Amino acid sequence: RLLLLPRRENSMVNHMPRVHTAGLALWIVFLYVFPMTARAQIETASHQNFGKQVLTLREKQSGRRVHLVGTMHYNPASALKAQQVVEKLADSNKLSSVVIEMCPKRFTSMEKNQPRGSSRRRLLDNEMQVAADAARDRQIEIVLGDQCIGNITENAGNMLKNSLSDLITPTKGWPAIARDFRDFLRRIRANSDAPTIKVDDIADPLFIMGTPVSLLRYPLALFLRQPLQVLGLLLAVELLDVGVPVSTAMSLEQSNSIPIALAAVNVLALVANVIFTVVLARIILVVMLKERDEVLAKAIQEACNKLPSTDDSEVVAILGMAHCNGVARLLAEEG
């Protein structure tokens, strides 16, 4: 019996490399094998039309046809969908320009850090660069239509300060916060003839299969771009997650003040969570969605209206899926 114990431990140790090997194999499957498989399936399934995740509508002022390709960033299915739409329209001489949800600063940095054909590009391939490559190969105009990253950061900081100020002024601040949330609900509930992204678009099997790739690539890309900031964030989360030491908890249990202390901690934690949720939601709804939807829609409208009315060329926009419905509504309703 004594001789069996070391063998069991050695067996566990010997299995550790197999676990790492299995993890590496999953990475290879997700990042390399799946995109090749998805390419064949997307091209076959979408031979007659663009299918899911693509909204087609007429821009109101020019009457020009616009295709909004809704994507999940770094999802290989989204990259292949974007490539297919651009190539199909360009090869049939129907495409005038491709609007990409990136500002010049972000796009230039991405092109510099992971150029076409590089190993980093293969690891972090994405729908924006894929669409740009397809357009560039066919001499199609590329429009970088997103809000400048500097303006987004500045607006988010201002919204953070305004939200904290509004939270401590109930008479004026709370109605302002409620107004932003009501405005968001009004926009998503408003009757509109514009097409919308629906559950069926998200439930697409290829899109779902590519989601793990996106979940792996996105944080990796963020870390490679801003390693110190990511490490700082992880450290902050780890510090916030540190619990009360067991010895301290046992000594507190012997104190008569423990119920009051725990109640105070619970109240403070609840208040902090509410403040964090409200502020973050407001930044996302106003700065990240509403304001950027307006900037993207304006860029698409300009791409449509600069062509003569006799030109029936179409415009493609590669957008994050969260922007599609808002941008479609603005294009269809605002002349």
pLDDT in tens, the chain (335 residues): 444 444 444 444 444 455 456 655 655 555 555 655 555 555 554 434 688 999 999 999 999 999 999 999 999 999 999 999 999 999 999 999 999 999 999 999 999 999 999 999 999 999 999 999 999 999 999 999 999 999 999 999 999 999 999 999 999 999 999 999 999 999 888 888 899 999 999 998 989 999 999 999 988 988 888 887 778 777 766 665 554 454 555 554 555 556 777 777 778 888 888 899 999 999 999 999 999 999 999 999 999 999 888 888 999 999 999 999 999 999 998 65
pTM for the whole structure = 0.81
* Residue whose token pair is 């290879």: 28
pLDDT of residue 309: 80
Cα–Cα distance for residue pair 39/214, rounded to 1 Å: 16
pLDDT of residue 193: 86
pLDDT of residue 292: 98
Domain segments of the chain: what residues? Answer: 4-241+258-333
